[in-house]
Amino acid sequence: MAWWRIRHPLFLFDYTTVKYVVTQNRKVGLLYRIFQLTVMAYLIGWVFIEKKQYQAKDDTVESSVLTKFKGVASVNTTDFKIWGPEDYVYPKQGEDFLFIITNFIETPNQELGNCSEKSSIPDANCTKDEDCIKEEAVRAGNGIKTGLCLKTAGGSDGICEIKGWCPTEKHGKPDKATVLRQAENFTLYIRNFIRFSKFNFSKSNVKLNNSDDYLYLKSCLYDQIVHPYCPIFRLGDIVNKTGRNFQESAIMGGSFGIMIDWSCDLDKEDSHCNPHYSFISLGSNTTGFNFRIAEYSNDAEGKKQRTLYKVFGIHLQIIVFGTARKFNIINTIINIASVLTLMTAGSFLCDIILLYMMKKSTFYRDSKFERIAKNDKESPAKKMPEGPKRKFSL
């Protein structure tokens, strides 16, 4: 026997081929066709058209935001002033975090000196001078204790005297009367520059190619339907679009988010990649937003003075997010392959029906599973009646 005829123990040189059995069972045939069509429809309709799985995606947006407020308001302070953006916007440089003063409590003409601490501060309550330790700061208070306990009229309890800005801040809740009514007409200009680094694609929400673009920017105001790409927003619109009322929110202040969503299909032209703006309220109706600022000046005798403002207002947070998608051959192949694997499930199901659930199942089983006996001479293939002769040649 020649050496190549000896069967290798590992069947190293064997190639296995699958034998197909063609049946003419219409029911199973139809079932399999329906299954194939369903899988194809799923692949084309859902995976490709609806989910666009043939595209690679990048959902990390690199973004920078510049903001600028415009508008003036007459303000009901003791010296009745006009406030511009340089007075009501914090921080001044215009970032994606913004605060716009819409209301305030004013404590005018504070001077450095000695006075009684606010009575509502527990750490400043006293009955005798020893309770007010000299040089100790009042916890959560406005100054340094002088060591004196000032008796309040009629009571035995008193309040510590402090060294600090006197008189101390006025009590009370923010008042409707001081609201900057015109603040609803302030406008916010947002310049947002984004980049999807995976596709090396960048874009800005402000288009400035020619003089028409400049003119448009000068006059437009964002409107979901008429001017969806105008980057200038009215403060009142931003608040009202979240379902809150501007004039009411202006009293105590509140937090709001401006969402800029970039969903870009980069297989289309650049002009199809545009921001979509939406507005949300961050926090409930009752959580206000406030902090304190002071303005310093000198009085007639040259003594230092300040006006303290507890300011309430609209806190805006600009949140940029998005996804870019672009055709990718690897994604396409992976998705086609994974869907086509489903076809195997179909064949498996049809096999089970054909081989075990039909009347002629035994017959089909016999044709599919061909038992070949050890002894070549008893092979059923040899016993089969002679059919049309086939010749194989390579």
Ligand X SMILES: *[C@@H]1O[C@H](CO)[C@@H](O)[C@H](O)[C@H]1NC(C)=O
Asked if 185 touches ligand X (CB under 6 A), the answer is: yes
Q: Residue for token digits 């960048």?
A: 202
Which residue pairs, CB below 8 angstroms and at least 24 apart, start in 218-223? 221/187, 222/277
310 annotated ligand-binding residue: yes
CB of 73 to ligand X, least distance (A): 8
Residue 125 or 182: the one with the smaller Cβ distance to ligand X is 182
Site for ligand X in 24-83 (CB under 6 A): none
292 annotated ligand-binding residue: yes
Residue 55 or 102: the one with the smaller Cβ distance to ligand X is 102
Q: Give the ranges where the chain is alpha helix by DSSP (H).
A: 26-41, 85-88, 211-219, 235-241, 246-252, 329-356, 361-368, 380-383
**What phi and psi values does residue 303 have, to the nearest 5 degrees?**
-80, 140
Task: Specify whether the CB–CB gap between 59 and 322 falls below 8 A.
Answer: yes
Distance separating alpha carbons of residues 192 and 321, to the nearest angstrom: 11
Distance separating alpha carbons of residues 12 and 5, to the nearest angstrom: 13
Whether omega for the bond prior to residue 122 falls within 30 degrees of 0, making it cis, is no
Asked if 182 touches ligand X (CB under 6 A), the answer is: yes
How many residues touch ligand X (CB under 6 A)?
Answer: 4
Of 305, 285, 303, give the one whose Cα is nearest residue 295. 305
Q: Residue for token digits 């939406």?
A: 278
| Count, residues in the chain | 394
68 annotated ligand-binding residue: yes
Task: Specify whether the CB–CB gap between 73 and 182 falls below 8 A.
Answer: yes
Residue 233 or 364: the one with the smaller Cβ distance to ligand X is 233
CB of 184 to ligand X, least distance (A): 5
Listed ranges 88-96, 109-117, 140-148, 176-184: which one lies at the site for ligand X (CB under 6 A): 176-184
CB of 242 to ligand X, least distance (A): 19
Site for ligand X in 229-258 (CB under 6 A): none
Residue 84 or 167: the one with the smaller Cβ distance to ligand X is 84
Out of 52, 68, 163, 181, the only residue in the binding site for ligand X (CB under 6 A) is 181
Residue 234 or 326: the one with the smaller Cβ distance to ligand X is 234
CB of 85 to ligand X, least distance (A): 16
Q: Which residues are annotated as a binding site for ATP?
A: 68-70, 187, 290-292, 310
Per CB under 6 A, residues contacting ligand X are 181-182, 184-185
Q: Which residues are annotated as a binding site?
A: 68-70, 187, 290-292, 310
